[in-house]
Amino acid sequence: MAQVPNPLPPHRELRTAIYVYAALIVLGVVLVIVLTPWIATWEPVASARASDNFLTLIVFSAVAVPVFMFVMVFGFSNLYFFRHPRQSEPPRDGPYMVAGLGPQLAWIGLTAAHALVLFVWGLIFLARADAAPAPGANQLNVDVTGEQWQFNFTYPQYNNAQSEILELPVNRPVYFTITSLDVVHSFSVDALGFKEDAVPGVFTHIRVTPSKIGSYSLRCYELCGLYHTYMEGPVRVVSAADFDTWVRGLKVHGYPWGINGAGAPVGAPTPPGGTGGPSGSVGPEGPQALILSHSPPANVPRSAFT
Amino acid sequence: MSTTHEVPASHEPRDGRVSGQPSLWQKLVPSHLTGIIGAAIGYFVFTAIVRATTPEDALAQPDILLLWGFIGLLIGWLIGLGALNYPVRWILGMPEPKHEEPYRGEGYYRQIWRYFRWNLDHKIIGIQYLALTLIMLALGGTGAMLIRLNLLVPGTRFFPPNTYETIVTMHGMLMIATMFSIIVGPFGNYFVPIMIGARDMAFPRLNALSWHLLAVGVFIFLLIPFVGGLQTGWTFYSPLADQTEPGAIAFAVGVILMLVSSSIGLVNMLATIITMRAPGMRWTRLPLFLWGIIGTAILTATSAPSWFSGLIQVLLDRAYHTTFFLNIVPGSDTFVSSAATGGGNAYLYEVTFWFFAHPEVYILAIPGWAALMEVTTVFSRKPAFTYKLAILGILGVTLNSFLVWGHHLFVSGWAPALRGYYMFTTELISIPTGFIFITILGTLWRGRLWMKLPLAWVFAFLWTFTIGGITGIFLSDVPLDIQMHGTYFVAGHFHYVILGSMLWGFFALCYYWFPKITGRFLDERLGWVHFWGTNITFNLVFATFFLMGWQGLPRRVADFAPLFDIPNTFASIFAFLLGAVMVVFFANVIWSWRYGEKASANPWNARTLEWQVPSPVPPENFAALPTVKEGPYEYGTPAAPPPPAPGAKPVPTPGS
Amino acid sequence: METPIEHEGALPMYAGQSPATEARKITVGIVMYIATDVLLGIMFFITYIWLRQYNTNNLWFPKGVTAPSSTEMLWPTIALVVSAGAYIVAQLAVRYDMHLLFRIATVVALLIVLGVLVWEIISMGRLPFTQTDGSFASSYLLLLGYHIVHLAVATIVGLGITIRAFRGLYNARSHVGVDVVGVWWYWVVAYAVLFWLLVLMQPPSLFYS
Ligand code: HEA
Ligand code: HEA
Ligand code: CUA
Ligand SMILES: [Cu+2]
């Protein structure tokens, strides 16, 4: 452009802003590290997966601080430095200032590097989360079948014992095979830090190793119709011995809910209450913070509008 | 007035104007009134035909009736509007119909009824869009209020779960539909031709069609509660959509019409920008707002067919019992949970949906960014800091959008091996987004900030969108997304980004362009009340979402665990306040339209073409086509503008 | 300087625009609109192939149904290609003001398309399966139905072109409409060819086991 640039006044503001920026980064990172664990208390962290997620949350928050502060400082400091004092139109335009190649490349480089760091972190932790157990490990297989509106569990290594309650032994790798009988559900245990969709006609898988004995909650995280709100239940992580007695006490059926078996016809069978062994005695215990305190309203009309 | 564009000043009456008053018959036939009558007739005729020709047992479900009824409604509406006169006359080789002429003399142009008919003038369509999208915003907002009402206290006190899910679905989809037309609809239609120095869109009829399809689409969409509701969420995942209430038919037909409407409208704008730029309007002289429109148009036209196909398949599944998504053995109703049954596949829907819906979220963002960059330069009185980088950012986001849809499917089990790739491309998107940010920040820096309301909304954007974007980066990390997916954290993320870009951009543009459209300012005091009220309450509501999401509150649930009692009540109360502040904005628009302070032709002293014509804009925009001499944001140039180049001739017009 | 548009009934806002701009505008626009339609067609093909990938057992075809015969579909496809050729002739003829040839060519193209349309509707009714017979039937009928809709539209606009040709509305200087409809025509024909290829790929084939 053939414009003559306005003479640029000396540029003290930039230096001030940079100092403020540096100070705020430090402050922000400290705050994030202190505050995040305090704010983000989901259910007790009960697996390596979940604690990794927790770490990632803190690290990402800390890494985001420079980005956030950059926008805040170089955006909002303008209000302090360059604001035209009155509401009327500024008598003169600002300086004719467009970026040269250098600053543009620097910006691209910095944001790209930032994105790359996050990506590498993500890859490493994804690999960790999905890592197969060590060869000798005694992996527990659990088949999960979602249906409107509950999950059913089968333990293929234990004569296909079936239960509506999920119980897992502590410190033993678990391999879930998940499917659904009707619509898409999402099987999740927050305290164990995983979530995987249950898709009709497809088997999906997820691995996790519970690391802490306790009582947690599972629920469906994909809208699946009328009672999605109430599609939740308890999860118990117990010692290996306790698990053994429990699972051997379960009732054993043939092939369950169509899983593994092409051709087993199931006309949307809602299993009658209590297929799952000694379920009568099983109630939520302990701090299951995510469990609703209300039961579903009875007799929901087919549609409230018509 | 500092401009170097050559804009001829006189507006002589032109060909095609007929003076004198039209009769009542001319006003009403055809008009929206006949359109509505036609729609009603169409609905009943089609349902009667289907009833007569379909075997009894196929009518046990109302789906097939509803489907054809809605199609009849659409056809009747178009016939009643007189929209089909032109195509029919074209086929028969007859001259164009007279009733659609955009303007016939001052008497005709001034009157209110021109908004209630099939009209080809892009400015009238723009105002029709403004009214319609504001109504949609109010309806979607009312839905939000009902959602918050139900979540005010635990225990589904207000709505049973099915009603709640219906409301969530309608709120989500209606808001999304609002947002993808709230900037490109009103302001795009009104200003695209003016900003490039043209008299109208490339295809005025398709432009009118776009609005009228949206109107009928929204109408059909609003019938959902009356045909049974539906419990799918706006994602409309099948097979749930195959199985839920017949409201799904209204949803699918309504949304198809909205999609077609916005593709038609945006492709029209793209064609206009490509072929109708005034002499001298080079690509590098296009205002950034138009680059935003270009990016949006490419995105919409390329991605909409994908969901279109998914929705058609849901309709066929429901009305004709095909098996695109249901996994059943052919010829029976038996379900077998194993792969490969000759049946449908749920991932097919998820992929067709997200292949559209991810680009779609940038359809919600790009016009907002472009609008905010536009006002930033005007109110900092500086050229865009990195004009070309901004264009690159818009186009980069456009391109990148097509590569990342899998980040919504991290937990779905579809193509687990590709999750790393999707994580990579998703994190990549922060780079072109950063171009937008550096443009805005650099333009503000050392500017002479004229703190009017449009600029205030730019600062609101910097705050809101940065938070939303950064939480998006959290979600793009696969393990973290596995933890957060389906929780209110996601809800917090997208309310921050969508409101932060699109709605804030819309507000900025309202305060910026209202004087051009109506010749009056929006009231400034009410405007500041709206600004502060919105920002404070908005952050209180949606920051709570992040907190609740971290702690595991699932989306789309009508009831919640005791852990969330207090935050939910808190969020609800501030959401009601947010709604109240929005009412202030609506009131401001309505009041200022009639009684606002009068504005001059170029109150912001801006340099783009639309400010060089009188306000409100005369019917044919430019008496003779202007000649463009420089880029859109040449602020900060030495004081006086160079005089218009001598000898530049406007394109001659007949009769002048 | 080009002469501004003056043909009867031009919308007033286009007064003053040159016919070249007009033609460019319409061509660019229509090509983009058709591109979105092409994408929709591609999505339908993807549907077919996608579902095929998830149904690798012998349940893909409904019981007692073998793959639709590709030879039976060959003739209508060839007929459509011929109609596209006739349409090209029409486009060339109007450019050189050869009005008789132009009219004949449009009539030929129109009749062929009409014939294929009727054939497709009849053969759709005679298929050995219905849409409820599994995903193959669903997606096959979807593709077929989509093509029938397009042939119907082609028939209608082709009728328009023919009527307008006989009314003498096109000549060497003004034939944008003919070219625009041509784009649509070629897409409809190309779709038929793609569809035939898809049927050809049915087993025994390289793609599916
Ligand atoms: C306007 C709409 C919009 C926009 C712009 C975005 C932007 C982004 N979104 Fe968002 N998103 C939605 C709307 C939007 N989203 C919606 C509606 C959903 C939910 C749909 C549903 O399920 O119902 C969703 C869901 C969603 C998910 C899925 C969550 C889940 O369901 O599991 C993910 C995961 O990756 C994601 C990521 C991102 C990312 C990485 C961005 C990035 O584009 C953000 C980029 C911006 C920044 C990063 C900030 C500014 C940049 C800088 C200052 C430059 C420097 C920065 C860095 C180098 C980091 N989004
Ligand atoms: C696209 C834009 C958009 C916008 C602007 C909003 C705006 C708001 N949204 Fe929305 N929301 C979505 C898109 C949007 N939302 C989507 C896509 C979903 C997901 C749906 C799904 O899961 O399927 C969702 C889901 C969603 C939920 C989660 C529901 C659930 O998962 O259970 C909640 C909960 O509080 C919520 C609240 C709000 C609130 C309080 C506002 C407020 O900002 C609203 C403020 C109010 C207004 C903007 C209008 C004010 C006007 C009036 C009140 C008019 C007065 C009326 C008359 C005079 C008649 N939204
Ligand atoms: Cu199952 Cu939600
Ligand atoms: Cu996305």
Residue B228 makes CB contacts below 8 A (sequence gap 6+) with A302, A303, A305, A306, B245, B246, B247
Q: How confident is the model at residue B577 (pLDDT cuts 50, 70, 90)?
A: very high
Count CA within 13 A, CB hemisphere, residue B521. Answer: 15
Q: What is the ipTM of this complex?
A: 0.88
Q: Is B17 helix (H, G, I), strand (E, B) or coil?
A: coil
Give the ligand 3 atom nearest the CA of A183: 1
pLDDT tens figures, B476-504: 999 999 999 999 999 999 999 999 999 99
Q: Are A97 and B613 in contact (CB under 8 A)?
A: no
Tell me which residue has its CA closest to atom 44 in ligand 2. B141
Interface subset of C 43-102, CB within 8 angstroms of B: 43-44, 47, 50-51, 54-57, 59-60, 62-63
**pLDDT score for A284:** 40
Identify the weakest region by mean pLDDT among A126-130, B265-269, B456-460, B522-526: A126-130
- Check CB contact of C174 with chain B, cutoff 8 Å: no
Q: Are B129 and B567 in contact (CB under 8 A)?
A: no
**pLDDT score for A237:** 92
Q: Are A96 and B636 in contact (CB under 8 A)?
A: yes
B604: closest CA of chain A, how far (Å) = 8
Mean pLDDT of chain B: 86
**pLDDT score for B7:** 59
Identify the weakest region by mean pLDDT among B86-100, B628-642, C5-19: C5-19
**pLDDT score for A269:** 36
Q: How confident is the model at residue A232 (pLDDT cuts 50, 70, 90)?
A: confident
pLDDT tens figures, C21-45: 778 888 888 889 889 999 999 999 8
Q: Do B335 and A182 touch (CB under 8 A)?
A: yes
Give the ligand 1 atom nearest the CA of B485: 32
* Shortest CA distance from B199: residue in chain C: C13
Q: Is the pLDDT of residue B598 over 50?
A: yes
What is the rounded CA–CA span in Å between residue C132 and residue C137? 7
What is the rounded CA–CA span in Å between residue C206 and residue C209? 8
Q: How confident is the model at residue B184 (pLDDT cuts 50, 70, 90)?
A: very high
* Chain C residue numbers touching B329 (CB-CB < 8 A): 59, 134
A neighbours by CB contacts (3+ pairs under 8 Å): B
Q: Is B356 buried (19+), middle (13-18) or exposed (0-12) by CB count in 10 A?
A: buried
Token pair recorded at residue A19: 């100092």
- Check CB contact of B440 with chain A, cutoff 8 Å: yes
For the segment B208-217, the average pLDDT, to the nearest whole number, is 94
Q: How confident is the model at residue B542 (pLDDT cuts 50, 70, 90)?
A: very high
Q: Do C132 and B330 touch (CB under 8 A)?
A: yes
**Computed from CA positions of residues A180, A182, A184, A186, in that sequence, does the dihedral angle turn out positive or negative?**
negative
Identify each DSSP E strand in chain A by its residue range.
140-147, 150-155, 161-163, 166-169, 174-180, 185-189, 194-198, 204-208, 214-220, 232-238
Q: Are C14 and C22 in contact (CB under 8 A)?
A: yes
Calculate how far, in angstroms, residue B352's C-alpha sits from the geometric centre of ligand 4.
13
Q: How confident is the model at residue A296 (pLDDT cuts 50, 70, 90)?
A: low
**pLDDT score for C117:** 92
What is the distance in angstroms between the CA of the first residue and the CA of the last residue of chain B? 27
Q: How confident is the model at residue A99 (pLDDT cuts 50, 70, 90)?
A: confident
**pLDDT score for B610:** 87
- Say which of C17, C26, C51 has its CB closest to residue B345: C51
pTM of the shown model: 0.90
Percent of chain B past pLDDT 70, that is, above it, reads 89
Q: Is B581 helix (H, G, I), strand (E, B) or coil?
A: helix
For the segment B127-152, the average pLDDT, to the nearest whole number, is 94
**pLDDT score for C16:** 53
pLDDT tens figures, B369-427: 999 999 999 998 888 888 999 999 999 999 999 999 999 999 998 888 899 999 999 99
**pLDDT score for B108:** 54
Interface subset of B 44-103, CB within 8 angstroms of C: 90-93, 95-96, 101-103
Q: Is B55 buried (19+), middle (13-18) or exposed (0-12) by CB count in 10 A?
A: exposed
The number of angstroms, rounded, from the C-alpha of C201 to the middle of its chain's C-alpha atoms is 21
Q: Do B451 and A87 touch (CB under 8 A)?
A: yes
Tell me which residue has its CA closest to atom 9 in ligand 1. B472
**pLDDT score for B21:** 65
**pLDDT score for B648:** 38
Which residue has better confidence, B650 or C173? C173
**pLDDT score for A267:** 36
pLDDT tens figures, A103-113: 889 989 999 99
C neighbours by CB contacts (3+ pairs under 8 Å): B
**pLDDT score for A40:** 66
Q: Is the pLDDT of residue B649 over 70?
A: no
Residue pairs between chains B and C whose CB atoms are closer than 8 Å: 183
Mean pLDDT of chain C: 81
For the segment B278-304, the average pLDDT, to the nearest whole number, is 91
* Chain B residue numbers touching C24 (CB-CB < 8 A): 275
* Chain B residue numbers touching A72 (CB-CB < 8 A): 462-463, 466
- At B516, the amino acid letter reads K
pLDDT tens figures, A46-84: 888 888 888 899 999 999 999 999 999 999 988 888 888
What is the rounded CA–CA span in Å between residue C16 and residue B651? 7
* Chain B residue numbers touching A266 (CB-CB < 8 A): 334-337
**pLDDT score for A297:** 59
Q: Is the pLDDT of residue A255 over 60?
A: no
Residues, CB within 5 angstroms of ligand 4 (ion): B 358
Ligand 2 site residues (CB inside 6 A) read B 137-138, 141-142, 144-145, 147-148, 168-169, 171-172, 175-176, 179, 233-235, 491, 495, 498-499, 503, 541, 555-556, 575, 578-579, 582-583
C146: closest CA of chain B, how far (Å) = 11
Which residue has better confidence, A133 or A205? A205
- Say which of A202, A219, A259 has its CB closest to residue B413: A202
For the segment C48-72, the average pLDDT, to the nearest whole number, is 74
Which residue has better confidence, A45 or A255? A45
Q: How confident is the model at residue A90 (pLDDT cuts 50, 70, 90)?
A: confident
Percent of chain C past pLDDT 70, that is, above it, reads 82
* Chain A residue numbers touching B451 (CB-CB < 8 A): 79, 83-84, 87
What is the rounded CA–CA span in Å between residue C4 and residue B89? 24
Identify the weakest region by mean pLDDT among A157-171, B272-286, B319-333: B319-333
The number of angstroms, rounded, from the C-alpha of B581 to the middle of its chain's C-alpha atoms is 22
**pLDDT score for C67:** 66
What is the rounded CA–CA span in Å between residue B164 and residue B44? 31
Q: How confident is the model at residue C207 (pLDDT cuts 50, 70, 90)?
A: very low
